[in-house]
Structure 1
Amino acid sequence: MAAPRAVWKGFLKVGSVSCGVKLVSATSEASKIHFKILNRKDGLPVNSAYVDEGTGDRVEREDQVKGYEVEKDDFIKVEPEEIKKLKLTSAHTLEVGEFVDISSIDTRYLEKPYYLIPADGASIEAFSVLRDAMAKKRVAARSCVVLYQRGREVVLQPYGKGMLLTELRTHNEMTSEKAVFDDLKSPTYDEDLLEIASLLIDKKVTKFDPSKFEDTYEDALIAMIDAKRKGKKPPKAAPRPEENVVDLASVLKKSLAREGIKRRKSA
């Protein structure tokens, strides 16, 4: 099996120590269902195109250029060559500015993962020393890198024989939890309900195992397409969820019975 293609090559730099590294995407879209847009009349695929807002004429690729809107309908053109001339250190170097405790990383900011590995045999020793030192200290490294012509804030942490580099969302992209949670009321409830809910949780505690994850929407799409291919009726739609629980105590007790859980007798 051929090794996945690197999406970025450069150097990992910590102080005066540096080594050649490369990034390989840790995710794949190969198993996803992808649709094409068809013309309903003849069933043939249609192509998307850029058109001039003023004339409605199609604009060919060689005539397209990026533009930044300064004010309404007032654009500054930015040529591809101008972007390439931006000589950012992070375009070729992952320079570590700081280390943070792994447990302190707010998972809301984690976006897309990549595997980070040595670029060549000469880089293995330095790479391994840095990775193992980070693992021993249980820290992650903060850095930034240019990927696909955009600067990305990233975090690096030891992962098996290599490292895991994860793109980070910026603080400006995040919605404040206060804006969402502030209006939520904290109800008072019987402690007995908390005990029953805890028993249900204990019954289902297990290890985090992503291999057991199922994409039920993707599975339903595949089943529908397979049925249409064979000329059969599509699968029945899933039933709508039930209304809000009114008698929570009754529902929790029924759940205990269904799971075969017996409550401990009160002292």
Structure 2
Amino acid sequence: MPRSSWKGYLKLSLVSCAVALYNATSASERVAFNTLNRKTGNRLKQNLVDSVSGDPVDTADRVKGYQVAKGQYVMVEDDELEAVKLESTKTIEIETFVPAAEIDDVYLDNPYYLAPDDKVAEEAFAVIREAMTRKKMVGIGRIVLARRERMLMLQPRGKGMQATTLRYPYEVRQDGEIFGEIGDVKLPAEMLDIAQEIINRMSGHFQPDRFSDRYEEAVVALLRAKQAGESFVVPEPSQPANVVNIMDALKKSLEAAGGEGALRRPRAPSKKAAEAPAKGTARKPTAKKAPARKAARG
């Protein structure tokens, strides 16, 4: 069982239960490097020094500071920051419920797993989880992580919940800043047809195991080669050139995806064909004329 990164209480109105928060991702398996002295091969240690005198500063003399003007700082002690405690330091209180589709992906930050912290908490935890599942809603609350209060999105996940920290609006750039200069492009229908067919032929299901970290694999191969005293050469990646004729590139892409060239747009059905009944459709019976009665002989 991994160690939790936070412990506290999950609260919905008057219902509360003890919960633990766990990191949903890990970078511990990645290759990590140390900084060494090239001449001795010894590992280097970082040492904080005074920016003016250049003298090393003891741990006891280090303090946080906020710059209010150039070269002017307000010092803040750790115990002063500790005193600024919020309720969300130890409690995740769900403040509202919203449809998950309303939360723009750009607001999503770091994912966590939330689970009950003891057997007594399981029933209350399950009630909150199952109610969200049935209503198809996610909960929005607050949590303090690393002394910072963050918005938190809670959604059911199996027997537990996924908790995702959300960015505040001031942390999110508006896409208009980036996309505002993109012009309106009128695209030929044939180009879109081919592009959509390429997507169709390349479509499947998300299988993350199919995607390997090629940079990590190359670094590991480099380290193994150096450890064995062998040379290691990484081939230069090819740089894609700007496409001049988009239609030609699309047609070649379609062939590479298993096609037989450009798509042919379906022709509009003729008037006669449009009026004909579809294959397999029963023809509507026509009304028969009533036979004329013979005049009675007198």
Q: What is the TM-score normalised by the length of structure 1?
A: 0.95
Where does residue 165 of structure 1 map in the other structure? Answer: 163
What is the aligned counterpart of 2:142 among 136, 141, 144? Answer: 144
Q: CA deviation at 1:236?
A: 2.2
Where does residue 180 of structure 2 map in the other structure? Answer: 182
Counterparts of 2:253 and 2:72, CA distance in 1: 62
- Matched length: 265
Where does residue 86 of structure 2 map in the other structure? Answer: 88
Q: CA deviation at 1:264?
A: 5.0
Q: CA deviation at 1:257?
A: 1.4
Counterparts of 1:265 and 1:92, CA distance in 2: 62
Counterparts of 1:186 and 1:240, CA distance in 2: 31
Counterparts of 1:265 and 1:150, CA distance in 2: 57
User: Which shows bigger deviation, 41-50 or 17-26?
Assistant: 41-50
Following superposition of structure 1 onto structure 2, how do residues 219-238 of structure 1 map, counting pairs within 5 Å? Answer: 219-238=217-236
**Equivalent residues of 1:223, 1:235 under 8 A apart:** no
Structure 1 residue matching 2:251: 3-state secondary structure: helix
Matched AA of 1:132 = E
Counterparts of 1:116 and 1:213, CA distance in 2: 27
Where does residue 155 of structure 1 map in the other structure? Answer: 153
Superposed CA offset, 1:87-106 (max 9, x none): 31000000111111011111
Matched AA of 1:232 = E
Superposed CA offset, 1:16-63 (max 9, x none): 111111101111112111111111222211111111012101112222
Counterparts of 1:138 and 1:194, CA distance in 2: 35
Following superposition of structure 1 onto structure 2, how do residues 203-242 of structure 1 map, counting pairs within 5 Å? Answer: 203-242=201-240
Where does residue 30 of structure 1 map in the other structure? Answer: 28
Structure 1 residue matching 2:50: 3-state secondary structure: coil
What is the aligned counterpart of 2:59 among 61, 77, 94? Answer: 61
- Flag the 1:235–1:161 CA change in 2: closer, same or farther, 3 A: farther
Superposed CA offset, 1:150-203 (max 9, x none): 212211111111001111122111121001001011222321111111011001
Q: Does 1:266 align with 2:266?
A: yes
Q: CA deviation at 1:209?
A: 2.5
Counterparts of 1:164 and 1:266, CA distance in 2: 47
From the CA coordinates, give the structure whose radius of gyration is larger: 2
Matched AA of 1:75 = Y
What is the aligned counterpart of 2:196 among 185, 195, 198? Answer: 198
- Flag the 1:186–1:223 CA change in 2: closer, same or farther, 3 A: farther
User: Which shows bigger deviation, 106-115 or 64-73?
Assistant: 64-73
Where does residue 5 of structure 2 map in the other structure? Answer: 7
Matched AA of 1:43 = G
Superposed CA offset, 1:218-258 (max 9, x none): 22211222222222222323323221011111111111112
**Equivalent residues of 2:190, 2:265 under 8 A apart:** no
Structure 2 residue matching 1:179: 3-state secondary structure: helix
Gaps of 5+ in 1: none
Q: CA deviation at 1:83?
A: 1.6
Q: CA deviation at 1:265?
A: 5.6
Structure 2 residue matching 1:131: 3-state secondary structure: helix
Q: Does 1:110 align with 2:108?
A: yes
Where does residue 284 of structure 2 map in the other structure? Answer: none
Where does residue 120 of structure 1 map in the other structure? Answer: 118
Counterparts of 1:19 and 1:82, CA distance in 2: 30
Q: Does 1:48 align with 2:46?
A: yes
Counterparts of 1:229 and 1:143, CA distance in 2: 50
Gaps of 5+ in 2: 268-298
